[in-house]
Amino acid sequence: MTSRTGEAPVFVKIDEYKDVLDMLELIKDKLNEAKRTLANINEMKNEEDSELDMWKTTLNEIERKVDGIDRTLIEPESTW
């Protein structure tokens, strides 16, 4: 086994090599799990943002209606 930089070969015991491969596989699995978790969190955040936008729109609509009612009640009686 030679390194990419052209240095002398490095020898590793087969057992240690298998342990390294197992560890790398475990790291890959954990990375994939972290990516899935992050994607789930991102999806939940997007859903939450959408829900908050809907609430904001509803509150703005209610506020417009309340302002309209308020203006109607404040108008002088002569316009009735």
pLDDT digit string (tens) for 13-51?
888 889 999 999 999 999 999 999 999 999 999 999 999
Measured distance CA(24)–CA(18) in Å, rounded: 10
- Confirm if 38 and 32 have CB atoms less than 8 A apart: no
Please report, rounded to a whole number, the percentage of residues in the chain having pLDDT higher than 90. 68
As a dihedral over the C-alpha atoms of residue 68, residue 73, residue 78, residue 80, rounded to 10 degrees, the angle is 70
1 pLDDT above the threshold of 60: no
> What pTM did the predictor assign?
0.60
Measured distance CA(61)–CA(55) in Å, rounded: 10
Predicted local confidence at residue 80, as pLDDT? 53
Measured distance CA(48)–CA(51) in Å, rounded: 5
53 pLDDT above the threshold of 90: yes
Contacts of 20 (CB under 8 A, 6+ apart): 12
Predicted local confidence at residue 75, as pLDDT? 81
